[in-house]
Amino acid sequence: MSERLRVKKTYKLYVGGKFPRSESGRSYPVTTPDGTELANAALASRKDVRDAVAAARKAQGPWAAQNAYLRGQILYRAAEMLEGRSGQFAAELAEAAGAEARETLGTVEEAIDRLVHYAGWTDKVASVLGGANPVSGPYFNHSKPEPLGVVGVVAPQDDPLVGLVEALAPAIATGNAVVVVASGTRPLPALSFGEVLATSDLPGGVVNVLSGKVAELAPWLASHADLNGLDLCGVEDADLAAELEAEAAGTLKVVRRPGGSGGPLDLLRQWIEYKTVWHPAGMAAGVGGGY
């Protein structure tokens, strides 16, 4: 009996809840540190960025309107699905780094823990970051955190799973949608993570994952008028980061600079804005008030 040929995995983009190839038809080889070829990844283009932003914008409003507890349950479900495939992710991380799978299993577990952590924040952000404001006058004043909108993320280049989760989880936990440019040299864990999200009840378009060259894709994110925020945590070239930040200023984006630090609450706060509501004291609800 002849030996069966193994079915090699085809890595695709994750856009709008589906797995398309790049519209350009391009791909590029992903290799180990010693040059051994692992797979071909789709080489995303400007058109793919536009499609991903359109999908994110369509999904963001309904996602933000979901009950915060439900958003937490979906993030927790993603953690469950990732844990069920921890062996695969450990192997992908090991191949990317030229290590042993047993050495990278702890990294996968860390990513799982981050997902669970942010799942627990979804229904607490409003209480922690919002509330009544002290005012001088006969009225009440309250601030309520709301999602920024659609956020573009350049994922960390040398931390393709934990760094990816740490960048996108706070954004979607607070009701934003995300377009991610995965690590250029180590994109496979991010592309597989798209499969995890697709099976975790996360609505299509809330997270979109593109693989390709940061220098080619990031400028289209920075200049896109329908993006509200830009996370440059994975941009290693200081000159490129400065150019992207300047480009983002043209459309008034909120920008997280490379090397930015802070705890989980700071990352959650990064992608929200505040609606402040006042109401005269002593009047019936619905009479008077404003924004």
| CATH number of the domain within which 184 lies | 3.40.605.10
Sign of CA dihedral 194, 235, 94, 37: positive
pLDDT (tens digit, 9 = 90+) per residue, 2-33?
Answer: 788 777 888 999 999 999 999 999 999 999 98
pLDDT of residue 67: 94
Instruction: State pTM to two decimals.
Output: 0.90
pLDDT (tens digit, 9 = 90+) per residue, 121-178?
Answer: 999 998 888 877 788 888 888 888 999 999 999 999 999 999 999 999 999 999 999 9
Record the tokens describing residue 119, joined without a space. Answer: 């799942």
pLDDT of residue 139: 80
pLDDT of residue 288: 47
pLDDT (tens digit, 9 = 90+) per residue, 188-237?
Answer: 999 999 999 999 999 999 999 999 999 999 999 999 999 999 999 999 99
Question: Side-chain half-sphere of 102: how many Cα atoms within 13 Å?
Answer: 0
46: in domain: yes
Residue 7's φ and ψ, nearest 5 degrees, are -80, 110
7: in domain: no
Question: Side-chain half-sphere of 151: how many Cα atoms within 13 Å?
Answer: 33
10: in domain: no
pLDDT of residue 225: 97
287: in domain: no
pLDDT (tens digit, 9 = 90+) per residue, 47-101?
Answer: 999 999 999 999 999 999 999 999 999 999 999 999 999 999 999 999 988 788 8
Q: How far apart are CA 210 and CA 11, in angstroms?
A: 11
111: in domain: yes
Q: How far apart are CA 110 and CA 104, in angstroms?
A: 10
% of the chain at pLDDT higher than 90: 75
24: in domain: no
Q: Domain range holding 189? A: 39-280
Average pLDDT, the chain: 92
Q: How far apart are CA 216 and CA 203, in angstroms?
A: 28
Strand order in the sheet with 177-181: 207-210, 177-181, 150-154, 229-231, 254-256
Checking if the pLDDT of 39 tops 50, the result is: yes
The answer to whether residues 19 and 199 touch, using CB atoms and an 8 Å cutoff, is: no
32: in domain: no
Query: How many domains, the chain?
Result: 1
234: in domain: yes
